[in-house]
Amino acid sequence: MSTAALAALQFAALLGTSHESTPPNGTWWQADQPHSFSSLDGPSYGFALVGSQWSLTAERMGRATSHALACGANEPACSSGRVPYSHWNGSEQPLGIWAAWEPHLGPVFAQLGAGAVKSEFHMSVPDWTAGGPPHPLMVGNTQILFSPLAGLGIRLSPHADLLANWRLVRAQNVSLGPTQTQYQGLGWSVFNVSVRWRF
């Protein structure tokens, strides 16, 4: 790496807030039953290497939590009274690494890139009932997923940037033969606003 390239390389810290989208009706919640998404917004933080027109960022984004009364079988199994409803309590706090190209036009720049993300999704059902006696059930998703990145930034000072971007964090169902091994997460995307301090 040349001396000029090394001089342009900076370490950075990021701090901001994220908003996670909600899954559609029927994914971990039912519109006609009690439900809440008690948190879709949360702090985001991370570290980055920043070059003249690129960045490499590791970031944890927001936190989504949900609570719902939902059916463990296809309706009308529960609405008819054949199967009892269960309580579904979920959480998600995505963590990932992204590489981005950052072409500048004056103080404004774009962010276009991709990376890998873990949704860190967990769902606890303390009274799972799908035709049998109630029992605790815990499911989640440990996949590492491809995640595009798109956003805009503005240079606020020689050492600070304001960033607004979008990332895909959707964790999908995976089955190994007849056995489901991974479960779809709460959110499908994350919108993030943060300040990046370059040192």
Decide if 193 contacts 166 (C-beta within 8 A): no
Least confident of 36-40, 145-149, 151-155, 182-186: 36-40
The pLDDT score that the predictor gives to residue 5 is 47
The pLDDT score that the predictor gives to residue 153 is 98
CATH code where residue 151 lies: 2.40.160.20
Give me the number of domains the chain comprises: 1
pLDDT tens readout for residues 9-34: 999 999 999 999 998 998 899 999 99
The pLDDT score that the predictor gives to residue 102 is 98
Please tell me the distance from the alpha carbon of residue 132 to that of residue 19, in angstroms, as a whole number: 37
Please tell me the distance from the alpha carbon of residue 180 to that of residue 80, in angstroms, as a whole number: 26
Give residue 142's pLDDT band: very low, low, confident or very high (50, 70, 90): very high
pTM above 0.95, yes or no: no
Please tell me the distance from the alpha carbon of residue 105 to that of residue 112, in angstroms, as a whole number: 14
Between CA 92 and CA 99, with CA 97 as vertex, the angle to 5 degrees is 140
Q: What is the mean pLDDT of the chain?
A: 93
Give residue 7's pLDDT band: very low, low, confident or very high (50, 70, 90): low
pLDDT at 139 over 90: yes
pLDDT at 6 over 80: no
Domain that holds residue 78: 3-198
CA 107 from centroid of its chain's CA atoms:
29
pLDDT at 3 over 50: no
User: If you average pLDDT over residues 43-59, what whole number do you get?
Assistant: 97
